[in-house]
Amino acid sequence: MATLKQALQQSGRINENDLEKGLFDYIIALKQEFIRLNIKQIDDHQDSKGKLLQNNDPAYSGIYTKATEEIATAINPKPLTSKRAGDPYNFVWGGDFMNGFYLYQKNNQIVLGSTGTGTGLKEEFFKGYENLFGLTEENLREVVKSKLLPLFIRNIRNTLNI
């Protein structure tokens, strides 16, 4: 363990670029946690602002209709989850959306999304949700405090040998 004087001397080894790179590396290392929390928000019908998920396109009410329930019951293969009239959308039909989640770094930003948003009508449907991807302040605070910060602190302590 370093003395205070040694730690101060070692502090010159810490620079902003290394800290930023380390932070992004830790976020990528924790991507499954970020994805898990985003999927839980969607399961709870909550957007990244903490509000009820709502599609901006009036064609999509956010609630399954009797027609959707009948289609889901009649077709094969069946949807992976039920589509009961009056229930809020659960975003699971064949599983592509939930199974297609990704998180990566691009131009000093973290990008969170899904490859399962499809094309055509499915793509239009998903485009109507402005805040579908991303964590609420509460979930972001949770993952930063419980997962990210301990990794970051450990790295700095190792760098300073304390």
Domain membership of residue 149 (yes or no) is yes
Angle in degrees, CA 83, 86, 87, rounded to 5: 55
Domain membership of residue 7 (yes or no) is no
In this prediction, residue 1 carries a pLDDT of 59
How many domains is the chain partitioned into structurally? 1
In this prediction, residue 42 carries a pLDDT of 95
* Distance from C-alpha of 145 to C-alpha of 153, rounded to nearest angstrom: 11
Domain membership of residue 81 (yes or no) is yes
Which residues, in sequence order, are CB contacts of 103 under 8 Å at separation 6+? 27, 28, 31, 34, 35, 110, 111, 112
Domain membership of residue 134 (yes or no) is yes
Domain membership of residue 106 (yes or no) is yes
Q: Where would I find the beta strands (DSSP E) of 46-159?
A: 101-106, 109-114
Which residues, in sequence order, are CB contacts of 20 under 8 Å at separation 6+? 108
Q: What is the pTM of this model?
A: 0.85
Contact between 42 and 148 under an 8 Å Cβ cutoff? The reply is: no
- The answer to whether residue 7 scores a pLDDT higher than 70 is no
In this prediction, residue 13 carries a pLDDT of 74
Cis peptide before 79 (omega within 30 of 0): no
Which structural domain range is residue 89 located in?
A: 20-157
Structure tokens at 86: 């009056």
pLDDT digits (tens, 9 = 90+) for 23-72: 999 999 999 999 999 999 999 999 999 999 999 999 999 999 999 999 99
Segment 103-120 shows an average pLDDT of 96
Q: Partners of 104 in the beta sheet? A: 111
162 pLDDT tier (thresholds 50, 70, 90): confident
Domain membership of residue 13 (yes or no) is no
Structure tokens at 151: 């990794």
Domain membership of residue 2 (yes or no) is no
Domain membership of residue 63 (yes or no) is yes
- The answer to whether residue 2 scores a pLDDT higher than 70 is no
DSSP 3-state of 46: strand
